[in-house]
Amino acid sequence: MSGESNRAYTGKCVDCGSPLVLYEMDFEKNRRVMQCTRCGLYHFYKKDFFGKWKLVKVGKVSDLWRKPK
């Protein structure tokens, strides 16, 4: 295995337009987390009613730990 070269990506970053790589997948909750290859932003997706992936939120890890106002 050549490591990261075999990772498939779908979509582009909302900030810089770079490709995304799969960071984490949760089959029980139908959620996935994708990470930008250039800027490191995390993109959180959730399956909608029709089974399509919907972007829920985007942010860095430190931004997501803060409590919303």
Residue 10's pLDDT is what?
Answer: 74
Residue 64's pLDDT is what?
Answer: 56
Alpha helices in 1-69 (DSSP H): 61-65
- Strand order across the 53-59 sheet: 20-26, 31-36, 42-47, 53-59
- Which of the pair, 27 or 64, is modelled with greater confidence? 27
- Which of the pair, 64 or 60, is modelled with greater confidence? 60
Task: Say yes or no to pLDDT of 1 above 70.
Answer: no
pLDDT tens across 30-61, in order?
A: 889 999 988 888 999 999 889 889 999 988 87
Residue 54's pLDDT is what?
Answer: 92
